[in-house]
Structure 1
Amino acid sequence: MPADARDAVTLAVAGREHRDWESYSIDSDLFTPADAWQVSLGIPAGEVPASLHPWAEVELRLGTDTVLTGRIDVLRRRIARGAHSLTLHGRDRAAVLLDCSAPVLARRELSLAEVCATWLRPLGIDRMDIQGGDTSKKVTVEPGMSAWEVLERAAEASGLWPWFAPDGVLHVAAPDYGRATDAELILRDNGQDGGQDGGRDGGSAKNNILDLSYEDDIRRRWSEVTVLGQGTGDETDGARPHIKAVARDQAAAFHRPLIRDAAYLESDGQAQARANKLLADSIFESVLTTARVRGHRTAGGAVWEPGMRVRLVVPPLGLDVDTLLARRTLACDRRNGTTTTLYLRPWGLWLPDTAPRARKKHRKKGGDCCDCDLCAG
């Protein structure tokens, strides 16, 4: 378990705190609803506190920092000769939105603000923070959709994205590409290990990555994205039966077109924004760097959290880039000790049309920018 007491993982439930786990895993992902967690330990036979049961509300803390708020989904006990173990599984507060259908209402078109007020609060989501975007845009809701599907559809129509913060607050916002660098990850081939994050000093900082994998996958990357749609019009503007927009990635090595039909478009601008997003997503998802580091905090003492801006320096791969921390997993077991696995995506490509930004070209060191339409200007 962690030698540093400030990094002890505590599960608080019904006013009681539980720690000293044999192993744990705490996940957080910007793009997957319902972050999962798991803790396990050996216990004397029969000694399971009554407060530990499915449905119970929990708070997971790393030292004094809250890293997840949710509920226990599964309690599993295993009995073998001379051994009795307890494992708890759960998810954060998004779980109820993912598992449950949205309430059935007479209205079939709702704005993001209406979704939050009339669809989420009945499911116990009462703390929300909505920032930016056009929250007045309405989306069509179909019977049987999960509450998360409704929220995601309304958020995307507004150019935003929903996620739950560790303290259980629902955030609906766009990324801030103007934020300062939160941390640096370094893996050089000079044998220097164990150092903390260094500055942009030309190579004096020590390695702080245990292992790393870099993946460039074009299977879901497109050279050209076309969005087709039609507008129903209103009192002043007539219906538009043919709406079309195209976004192109000039860095694609050969022709890989994608055509998507998007219903309920009202303008060429909406179609272009949709095409831009689909193209940006294809580039964003094509590059993934997975790094494993010791401990659960940056050199500055902050707990690793999705949304961070992380500078990645890996000279053997020609990398010196800014990345978005899209997912992280805090873990500890007897074999590997305390580690964090970080999943990094290209910086500046997620929600490109709505995010406030001070954008930099995404490039390999010594390489060219992708030069897609999204990077123009």
Structure 2
Amino acid sequence: MADLRLFINGAIYSGWESVRVTRSIEQVAGAFSVEVSDVDPWPIKPGDAVEVVCGPEKLITGYVDRVSMGLDESSHTFKVEGRDRTADLVDCAVLGGTGGYAKQSLLQIAQSVAKPFGIAVRAEADIGPAFLKFSTQPGDTAFAVIERGARMRGLLTTTDGTGALVFTAPSGKRADAALKMGENIKSAFLEADASEKFGTYQVRGQAPGNDEAFGKDVSGVFAISKDGTVSRYRPLIVMADMSTDKASAQRRANWERSVRSARSNRLVVTVAGWTKSSSGALWKINEIVACDIPLFGIKGARLISGLTFSRTLADGTTTEIELAGEGAYVPEPVSKAEKESILA
């Protein structure tokens, strides 16, 4: 199995007792931590450039966030933690372009926002047409601006291990491996949480009238979607924006029901090693994998939403795989107002 290497300012470091690298479809910046004991402190400081590499693949390209040291009478420890370059987009305000953009695509806007940080931006999915107008507000973080545009285009934002920002969508790609209890799953954890599920989802709004739509068609927009798996009385009302029509309201109600249902079961499995036994490639987020855990009543496809590659003296080398329902990350429906913000 390929070993994990840590490059800081171009110099390689190894020999640590523990390592942890986390990637998630819900996070635009991956994170890592490594720890070593009984050695002289390495000359590493916060802000140093870092690359975390496993075999030919880069997992993290970013910066050291923090360095910590501890000691007692018999030993001392040294720990390094950091994140992808894209963490700067999450942490920092956007300055250039404050006010808005006109007749620019999502990719152009994101590239403009990310340029001062030295972060590349690319798209793995259709970004849609240009925005007629896209507004920003003073105090917005760089990522808040980018994420708002991505939501309006029904896209997810993530990073690729090289420090770039990537626009993507649920890929539907099937992993060339399966997860099965008694074969490659060492342990499994299932949390069923119904606190965010409701029996009925009502979307209400009021659209502006015009020559084609007026009266009851716009004065009281209403849509409902029912979840038959919720047995008791649990209604949720979602207030839509002023331009929502009946069709948009129904799509939103159906989306609320299906996404909340898909996210209600959190499944985490742990497997030995960092790679798939079938291909020798690292496990990847945003892939669909067959999962078979009879005791949990699970047999079917799940989406890999998060990965944690780790190595400790106690547990060896393992991958913690977080799995969600296939529909957990279906993009939120675009409202009528947002559709009208684009160029024809």
Common fold, TM-score beyond 0.5?
yes
TM interval, short-chain normalised: 0.7 to 0.9
CA deviation string 1:47-76 (max 9, x = no partner): 523xx2211221101123211222100011
Secondary structure at the counterpart of residue 147 of structure 2:
helix
CA deviation string 1:332-357 (max 9, x = no partner): 11111111111111123421688xxx
Taking the aligned partners of 1:229 and 1:136, their CA distance within structure 2 comes to 27
Tell me the amino acid that sits aligned with residue 136 of structure 1.
A
Residue equivalent to 1:256: 234
Tell me the amino acid that sits aligned with residue 197 of structure 2.
R
Taking the aligned partners of 2:171 and 2:208, their CA distance within structure 1 comes to 34
Taking the aligned partners of 2:190 and 2:331, their CA distance within structure 1 comes to 23
CA deviation string 1:86-107 (max 9, x = no partner): 1101111221111112226453
8 A contact 2:201–2:257 mirrored in 1: yes
The structural deviation recorded for 1:223 is 2.5
Residue equivalent to 1:83: 75
Change (3 A) 1:294 1:163: same
| Alignment partner of 1:295 out of 265, 273, 276 | 273
| Alignment partner of 2:140 out of 141, 145, 148 | 145
Change (3 A) 1:217 1:227: same
Secondary structure at the counterpart of residue 302 of structure 1:
coil
Secondary structure at the counterpart of residue 94 of structure 2:
coil
Q: Does 1:121 align with 2:142?
A: no
More moved, 288-297 vs 137-146: 137-146
Residue equivalent to 2:325: 346
CA deviation string 1:205-228 (max 9, x = no partner): xx1111112222111112222333
Secondary structure at the counterpart of residue 299 of structure 2:
strand
- 1:1-377 equivalent positions in 2, closer than 5 A: 4=1, 6=2, 8-45=3-40, 47-49=41-43, 52-103=44-95, 105-108=97-100, 112-137=106-131, 140-177=135-172, 179-188=173-182, 207-230=183-206, 242-263=220-241, 265=243, 267-299=245-277, 300-351=279-330
8 A contact 1:223–1:248 mirrored in 2: yes
Change (3 A) 1:344 1:10: same
Tell me the amino acid that sits aligned with residue 256 of structure 1.
R
Taking the aligned partners of 1:139 and 1:257, their CA distance within structure 2 comes to 34
More moved, 262-271 vs 86-95: 262-271
The structural deviation recorded for 1:241 is 6.1
More moved, 330-339 vs 72-81: 72-81
Taking the aligned partners of 2:158 and 2:126, their CA distance within structure 1 comes to 15
Secondary structure at the counterpart of residue 182 of structure 1:
strand
Change (3 A) 1:113 1:39: same
TM-score (norm 1): 0.78
Taking the aligned partners of 2:76 and 2:211, their CA distance within structure 1 comes to 70
CA deviation string 1:159-207 (max 9, x = no partner): 1111111222321121122x2343211114xxxxxxxxxxxxxxxxxx1
CA deviation string 1:288-323 (max 9, x = no partner): 111111111112211112112111111223321100
Taking the aligned partners of 1:230 and 1:43, their CA distance within structure 2 comes to 66
Change (3 A) 1:187 1:281: same
8 A contact 1:163–1:170 mirrored in 2: yes
8 A contact 1:247–1:275 mirrored in 2: yes
Taking the aligned partners of 1:159 and 1:95, their CA distance within structure 2 comes to 22
Segments of structure 2 that go 5 or more residues without pairing to the other structure are: 334-344
Tell me the amino acid that sits aligned with residue 128 of structure 1.
R
Taking the aligned partners of 1:272 and 1:133, their CA distance within structure 2 comes to 24
Secondary structure at the counterpart of residue 120 of structure 1:
helix
The structural deviation recorded for 1:324 is 0.4
Taking the aligned partners of 2:301 and 2:125, their CA distance within structure 1 comes to 24
TM-score (norm 2): 0.84
- How many residue pairs get aligned? The number is 327
Tell me the amino acid that sits aligned with residue 114 of structure 2.
L
Residue equivalent to 1:369: none
8 A contact 2:260–2:328 mirrored in 1: no
- Percent identity, aligned pairs only? 26
Q: CA RMSD in A?
A: 2.8
